[in-house]
Chain A
Amino acid sequence: MSSITGRSAVDQAPGPAGDVPRGRRRLGDTLFGGAASASGVIVIAIVALTGVFLATRAVPSLLDDKVNFLTSTRWDAAPGDLRFGILQILWTTVSISVIAMIIAVPVGIGNALFLTQYAPRWLARPAASVIDLLAAIPSIVYGLWGIQVFAPHLLSVQRALNDALGWFTLFAGPISTGTIFIAGIVLSIMILPIITALSREVFDQTPAANKEGALALGATKWEMIRTSVLPFGRAGVVSASMLGLGRALGETIAITIIVSSVAPGTDFFASWLQGGETFASKIANNAAEFNNPASTGAYIAAGLVLFILTFVVNAIARVIVNRRKAFT
């Protein structure tokens, strides 16, 4: 029965902190409560101040922008003649993250199910630590490996995609050296350990009674997983995926190394077989020229959009998690 933790009714009985009577409060309680609250407040303050910083620096440049910030594909941040828009950058950022999620979420969930439900114990623990090791590899290593080792192997795949589906705008040519497609796959490997580790933790918490009940009712192993493990872990899996997506949206160095940038003045294109710049790589590629407030503000405006995008994604995740809580 040791596997019943966290969500059982017994654990929730003491209720929120206020239950301890006033008169009997000890020093330890006060200190710990204060420290915990302070940690919470500090994190909220950091996020809020980051938002304020981005907004105050971005607004003057946004007001000076001579083209539409949301629909233009130009990026001229020369002071005095600011013409910058984020359409292409937004598309590249979202595309890379979508490819990464399409691959990493199913593989991550499958991986977590394998480690918790199928793998023998002697294999599960070392396998889990190997997957955690993936998260410890610096992103610059992923970037260099991605472009120098992995990309040449993907050439034929990309060419086949282009030949078969070239009429479809996502797979239109010409094929670049460093494409959104390659970056998406490399990024999926980078976020895989996050999704796997968190999903593994929640699947591990599935009450044995639920699993045994399903099996006792005659369910096969797959049916047991479908009816007890997956519904129990759904909220956790959504959280894990959103954390992975957050990393994918903000990844900088690996993207900078892998994806080719496009020549200034190129018209909007949607192809995944071409290059582009994400919000983070755009900022990184130009960080050396942040020497006047006006052009810096243009890049900070891009950073602000990334901030808002991440915020919205996380808010959606919260809503999903809260809605699914009812199940347990």
Chain B
Amino acid sequence: MTFWKTSHLLTIAAVGALALAGCGSDDNSTTPAAGGGSSSSSSASTAAIDCGTGTLNGEGSTAQKNAIDQVIQAGYQTQCPDATINYNATGSGSGRKQFIGGQVDWAGSDAAMKPEEATAAATRCMGNPAWNLPMVAGPIAIAYKLDGVTDLVLNADVTAKIFQAQITSWDDPAIKALNPNAKLPSTPIKVYFRTGDSGTTQNFTSYLNAAAPTVWTAAGAQSWAGKGEGREGSAGVAQAVAGASGGITYVEWSFARDNKLDVAKVDNGSGAVELTGESAGKTIATATQVGTGNDLALKIDYATKEAGAYPIVLVTYEIVCSKGLDADKTKLLKSFLTYFADSSTQSGLQDIGYAPVPSAVSTKVETAIAAIS
């Protein structure tokens, strides 16, 4: 009997050890992001805040979740302990729906409101228009892994051909022409795309369609229209590329960095541009405002030829009422958004893979926030 008990205990111990070992290896992948978070919290804390009180609830885009979490936890709430801000990342469409339904105080969204949504949102805001405020910008990286090649330049045409499987080998003359000094192997190119519908896919295909319209004829859409192998989620595509030499995908910058993937420079027609917060910001600065007044809905010019502008960017909005919330909430919302839009907060976001909104746009955002009443 004693022996039976001993062996039983041993099994439990063994299983427990296995489970713990599993935890250990899982944690590794998230470590870089956590490191980035702590390093940037110091820079974020320099912004002066006029604190609000109470609770503010937001819901929407998953793309800006990490940014908002960082701003709330590492910055705003440490300085304003009397304020509680919640953000529930359920998806842009759901966020806009909940905002219009009056369930949340603001919505995070990857796309500006559609006209019919704007009308419904105005009703929700007691007859005042709701505004789209571009607050977080996320560059989309063309991430790849190729042994011996850490520096790669692509342009829209070649990228579109790769993702259409018209270019299938890394030593294709078209890639060689852009990278005369790189030692390109004859490894076959493995293209990975996002399974299901995704805002990242929509922005990436919009870029391909705008910048290489003859090769990529399909309009930008949430579902993939090219070739390759589909993986689940941003983490899925990034891990698939990390798994073997020869893979390429499009993915949010932070995932490319977390998985230690190389990021291609993009030649927009005026020379190769490296993906940095600054180069992505330049593209956002060239965007045209399609909203009126303080509604800052933007249309990104993916085909921009401005020198030093990285063209594949995703702009996400905070959708707020211009008027109509009660006084406490309005004060808290304004205080939070002011802190969010502050240049030191924005530059802190660069460490976790976002691009700061350029000053040309953020000045307008600050004006709009000041006009909320």
> 8 Å CB contacts to B: which residues of A99-148?
121-123, 125-127, 129-130, 133, 141, 144-145, 147-148
The residues of A that contact B190 with a CB separation of less than 8 Å are 177
* Main SS class of interface, B: mixed
Size of B's binding interface in residues, CB under 8 A: 35
Which residues of B have CB within 8 Å of A178?
A: 229, 231, 240
**With the chains together, A176 CA to B11 CA distance in Å?**
37
B225 part of interface (Cβ distance < 8 Å)? yes
Chain B, 222-239, CB within 8 A of any chain A CB:
222-232, 236, 239
A261 to B196, CA, bound (A): 9
**Is the pair A152, B195 in contact by a Cβ cutoff of 8 Å?**
no
Q: Is the CB of B230 within 8 A of A263?
A: yes
Whether, in the assembled complex, A303 has its beta carbon less than 8 Å from a beta carbon of chain B, the answer is no
Q: Tell me which residues across on chain A come within 8 A of B225, comparing CB atoms.
A: 264
Interface string of B190-205 (1 = CB under 8 A from A): 1011011100000000
- Minimum CB distance partner of B93 in chain A: A291
Assess whether B196 is in contact with A148, with CB atoms less than 8 Å apart: no
Which of A57-65, A190-198, A230-238, A281-289 forms part of the interface with chain B?
A281-289
Q: Which residues, 109 to 141 on B, are CB-close (under 8 Å) to A?
A: none
Q: Does B180 contact A (CB under 8 A)?
A: no
B279 to chain A, nearest CB (A): 30
Report the separation of the CA atoms of residues A129 and B7 in the bound assembly, to the nearest whole angstrom.
12
Q: A129's closest neighbor in chain B, by CB?
A: B11
- A125: nearest chain-B partner, CB-CB: B4
Q: Residue A275 at the B interface, CB < 8 A? A: yes
Cβ of A97 within 8 Å of any chain B Cβ, yes or no, is no
Find residues 254-309 in chain A having any chain B CB closer than 8 Å to their own CB.
Answer: 256-257, 260-264, 275, 285-286, 288-289, 291
Q: Are A285 and B229 in contact (CB under 8 A)?
A: no
Name the CB-closest residue of B to A174: B188
**Which B residues lie within 8 Å of A285 (CB)?**
195-196, 232
- The answer to whether B197 touches A261, judged by C-beta atoms less than 8 angstroms apart, is no
Q: How far is the CB of A73 from chain B (nearest CB, A)?
A: 15
Q: How far is the CA of A174 from the CA of B15 in the complex (A)?
A: 37
Known: A125-B8, A126-B8. A264 touches B229 (CB 8 A): no
Closest residue of chain A to B7, judged by CB?
A126
Residue pair B8, A257 in contact (C-beta under 8 Å) = no
Partner of A152, one of B11, B15, B223, B243: B243
Nearest CB in chain A: distance from B97 CB, A = 9
Total inter-chain residue pairs, C-beta < 8 Å: 79
| Closest residue of B by beta carbon distance from A123 | B7
Given A125-B4, A177-B231, A291-B93, are A141 and B22 neighbors across the interface (CB < 8 Å)?
yes
**How far is it, in angstroms, between the C-alpha of A174 and the C-alpha of B230 when the chains are bound?**
15
Find out whether the CB atom of A257 lies under 8 angstroms from the CB atom of B197: no
Contact of B244 among A129, A174, A177, A263 (CB under 8 A): A177
Contact B197 A288 (CB under 8 A): yes
Chain A contacts for B236, CB-based, 8 A: 257
Q: Are B196 and A126 in contact (CB under 8 A)?
A: no
In the bound complex, residues from chain B placing their C-beta under 8 Å from that of A152 are 243
Smallest Cβ-Cβ distance to B247: which chain A residue: A177
Which chain B residues in 59-108 approach chain A with CB under 8 Å? 91, 93
Q: Are A176 and B197 in contact (CB under 8 A)?
A: no
Are B3's CB and A122's CB within 8 A?
yes
Pick from A129, A141, A285, A291 the residue with the most CB of B within 10 Å.
A285
Shortest beta-carbon distance, A125 to chain B, in Å?
7
Are A286 and B230 in contact, with the CB atoms below 8 A?
A: no
B326 proximal to A (CB < 8 A) = no
Interface residues of B in 1-59 (CB under 8 A from A): 3-4, 7-8, 10-11, 15, 22, 25-26
**B229 & A262 in contact (Cβ 8 Å cutoff):** yes
Q: Point out the residues of chain B lying under 8 angstroms from A147, CB to CB.
A: 239
Nearest CB in chain B: distance from A192 CB, A: 16
Q: Report which of B11, B91, B195, B239 forms a contact with A261, defined as CB distance below 8 A.
A: B195
In angstroms, Cα B192 to Cα A123, docked, is 47
Are B11 and A286 in contact, with the CB atoms below 8 A? no
Chain B residues with Cβ under 8 A from A263's Cβ? 193, 224, 226-230
Which residues on B sit within 8 Å (CB–CB) of A145?
Answer: 22
Q: Return the CB mask of B250-279 against A: 1 if under 8 Å, else 0.
A: 000000000000000000000000000000
- Whether A126 pairs with B11 at a CB distance below 8 angstroms is yes
Give the distance in Å from the alpha carbon of A130 to the alpha carbon of B14 in the complex. Answer: 10
Distance of B290 from chain A, by nearest CB (Å): 24
Decide if B240 touches A264 in the complex (CB within 8 Å).
no
Chain B residues lying within 8 Å of A174, measured Cβ to Cβ, are: 188
* Chain A residues, CB < 8 A from B228: 263
A275 to B236, CA, bound (A): 14
The distance in angstroms between the C-alpha atoms of A122 and B8, with both chains bound, is: 9
Chain A hits for B197, CB < 8 A: 286, 288-289
- Chain A residues with Cβ under 8 A from B227's Cβ? 263
Kindly state the separation between the CA atoms of A152 and B242 in the bound complex, as whole angstroms.
Answer: 12
Q: Which residues of B contact A256 (CB under 8 A)?
A: 195, 232
Bound-complex Cα distance A125 to B190 (A): 48
In the complex, A148→B231 CA distance in Å? 13
Please give, as numbers and ranges, the residues of chain A lying within 8 Å of B231 by CB-CB distance: 177-178, 260-261
Give me 11 A-to-B residue pairs in the complex whose CB atoms sit less than 8 angstroms apart, sorted by A's number: A125-B4, A126-B10, A127-B11, A133-B15, A149-B25, A177-B240, A256-B195, A257-B232, A263-B226, A275-B229, A291-B93
**6 additional contacts (CB under 8 A) given A121-B4, A126-B4, A126-B10:** A177-B231, A177-B240, A260-B229, A261-B195, A286-B196, A288-B196
Chain B residues at the A interface, C-beta cutoff of 8 Å = 3-4, 7-8, 10-11, 15, 22, 25-26, 91, 93, 188, 190, 192-193, 195-197, 222-232, 236, 239-240, 243-244
Which 6 residue pairs are nearest across A and B when measured between Cβ atoms?
Answer: A261-B230, A285-B196, A260-B229, A261-B195, A126-B11, A263-B227
